[in-house]
Amino acid sequence: MAHHAHPSAPAHGHSTHTHTHGSDATPNGLPEILDLDAALFAPHLTALTGRIACLAGDDVQHIVDLGSGTGTGTFALLERFPTARVTAVDSSPAMLERLASAARDRRLGDRVRTLEADAGAGLPGVVDADLVWAAASLHHLDDPATALAGIRAALRPGGLLAVAEVDGMPKFLPEDGDAGELEARCREALGGLHAERLPHRGADWGSLLAAAGLPVEQERAERWELRTPLPEGAGRYAYLVFERIRGTLEGRIGAGDLAALDRLIGGGPEDVRHRDDLVVRSTRETWMARRPT
Ligand SMILES: C[S@@+](CC[C@H](N)C(=O)[O-])C[C@H]1O[C@@H](n2cnc3c(N)ncnc32)[C@H](O)[C@@H]1O
């Protein structure tokens, strides 16, 4: 099958692809959530790309952003590696269009190529990558072993794979109160749902990488946290996350919890956009693995 990929224009890989885990099958709001996450946690992301640079070296020219979403990794890595270009791979044309448009706005269009493909089935036409970045995306893929074999084939010998996974949507509310307990119950309900829909979430990626011939050189879990004074956008981020949680859990949690969620996004005194007690926090786990030379 021919794969048409253009700088800053969405390309079409598997045109018959009907993957249901992609963002197109989920409610709206995710692209803005991803962009806000990137903006709010920019300093954390800079530290993470610095760690990648220590392992990957200076001469990184070709980067693959696997499950790129709106381009959090793409843009952070283009900044970190000023002469590199990125192939952004995603199964969602809407995500790739947004990424391509952001690349043009930032005058980075000539350094970004988008590729619409099911990354679980391999990376068509992608070879000799110095670095593959896969953030919050591997758990979406149907068969991790096939996906990792595709990543290994796309990397040059000695090339680096950086995997990041998050423990779900961030938390926002104080733990020691009714609101925190509600948030914990929602996360438990979401956990049950994800176990059905995304069976590879929370997988033992270290072992899977090693089994795929990508030995892990560094593994780390970090708590990313933002406290008052919160950066601009934190309330909006919390609002979008709770709106999404409410939509997902409707019919799966009790009426009382649903009403409490409504109050968090209803514009009244409990609304997360007005509260001064938010702490934005999540745990990010990373694995750095290398294709042997
Ligand atoms: C949670 S988002 C993460 C986006 C981005 N990596 C980030 O860190 O912000 C997961 C992304 O993986 C993409 N995705 C899901 N299944 C995919 C597949 N089979 N092949 C390629 N991309 C996929 C989704 O469309 C979505 O953009």
Q: Tell whether domain 1-166+203-225+283-293 is in CATH 3.30.460.20.
A: no
Residue with tokens 């992301």, as numbered in its chain: 45
Q: What integer pLDDT is reported at residue 174 of this predicted model?
A: 94
Ligand 1 contact via 21 beta carbon (within 6 Å): yes
Rounded CA-CA distance 260/255 in Å is 9
Question: What is the per-residue pLDDT for 188?
Answer: 93
C-alpha distances in Å from residue 187, one per residue of 172, 176, 193, 272: 12, 16, 10, 17
Residue 54's H or E segment, with its range, is helix 42-56
Q: Where are the domains of the chain?
A: 1-166+203-225+283-293, 169-197+229-275
In degrees, rounded to 5, the angle at the alpha carbon of residue 141 between the alpha carbons of residues 205 and 146 is 75
Pocket test for ligand 1, best of 66, 97, 140 (most atoms within 8 A of CB): 140
pLDDT in tens, the chain (293 residues): 334 354 544 444 433 333 333 334 444 789 999 999 999 999 999 999 999 999 999 899 999 999 999 999 999 999 999 999 999 999 999 999 999 999 999 999 999 999 999 999 999 899 999 999 999 999 999 999 999 999 999 999 999 999 999 998 899 999 998 999 999 999 999 989 988 889 898 989 999 999 999 999 999 999 999 999 999 999 999 999 999 999 999 999 999 999 999 999 999 999 999 999 999 999 999 999 999 99
pLDDT at 242: 97
Predicted confidence at residue 196, as pLDDT, reads 86
Q: How far is the centre of ligand 1, averaged over its atoms, from the C-alpha of 144 (Å)?
A: 14
Q: Does the beta carbon of 132 lie inside 6 Å of ligand 1?
A: no
